[in-house]
Chain A
C-alpha cells in the first residue's frame, strides 16, 4: 500500500533533508501577519484606554503660605495625589508657577536652575521653560505637566493639574 500524497520521486528516493521539518515561508509569513494583527489590536486597545481613562486633575487646595516662599525660591509639594511630586517657583511678589516634577522623557525629577533660569532634568539634560514648562532643549517629547496655581489670602493654592 502506497501513500498517494507522497510524490513518486520521494517514494523512489526516500531522502529527508535535515531542514525539512523547519518552518515554511508561508508559515513564517502567517506568524508575521498574526503578529501584525495582535499589534493592531493592541494599538486599538491603547487608543480606547487613552480615551476612557480618567486623569486625576486634582482638587483646589492650599499648598503653602506665601511668606514661606521668597521670590526666586522653589517649594516642593505633592499634587494632585501624594505620589505626585510637584514644584513651584515664586517668580515675583504676586506671580507663581508650578509644575509636575516628573520629566516627560523618562520620569526623572526636574529642578530649577537659578543661573540658567530654567527647569532642568539632570538625567539626560532636558531643559524646560521656567514660565510655560515647554521644552527648550534635550530629549523630552512634551512640556512638563502644569499645575494651575494662584495666590489667595496670602497663601498659594493649587487649583488643578493639566498633564
Chain B
C-alpha cells in the first residue's frame, strides 16, 4: 500500500518531470525560430513533431498526479 510520503514523492517527481519537459519545449521553440530564419522546413517540422509529442507526454504524466 502506498504511503502518504510515497505519494508526495511521486507527485513531486511528476511535477519535476513536467518542468523538465516544459524547459525542453522552450528550447524547441528557439530551434523552431532558428529553422524559420534559416528557411529550414524539415527542421521546423521535426521540431514541431517533437514538441507535440512532449506536450502529449506532459499531459499523460499529469494524469498520474493525484488530485
Contact = CB atoms under 8 A, between A and B. Distances in A.
Contacts of B34: 141
A42 B32 CA distance: 9
Nearest to B40: A50
Interface residues of A, number: 25
A40 interface: yes
Interface of A: 25-26, 28-30, 32-33, 35-37, 39-40, 42-44, 46-47, 49-51, 55, 104, 141-142, 163
B65 A26 contact: yes
Contacts of A163: 38-39
- Is the contact region of chain B dominated by helix, strand, or loop, or is it mixed? helix
Nearest to B56: A40
Interface string B24-49: 01101100111111111100110110
Contacts of B15: 25, 28-29, 32
Interface of B: 11-12, 14-15, 18-19, 21-22, 25-26, 28-29, 32-41, 44-45, 47-48, 51-52, 54-55, 58-59, 62, 65-67
Given A26-B67, A29-B14, A36-B58, 8 more contacts: A26-B11, A26-B65, A36-B54, A39-B26, A40-B51, A47-B41, A47-B47, A50-B41
Contact of A43 (B11, B41, B48, B65): B48
B33 A33 contact: no
B29 to A, nearest CB: 5
A46 B48 contact: yes
- Is the contact region of chain A dominated by helix, strand, or loop, or is it mixed? helix
B39 A44 contact: no
Contacts of B58: 32-33, 36-37
A40 B55 contact: yes
11 contacts: A29-B65, A32-B18, A36-B25, A36-B54, A37-B55, A37-B59, A39-B25, A39-B28, A43-B25, A43-B48, A51-B45
Contacts of B47: 43, 46-47
Interface centre among B11, B22, B40 (most CB of A within 10 A): B22
B32 A33 contact: no
Contacts of A30: 62
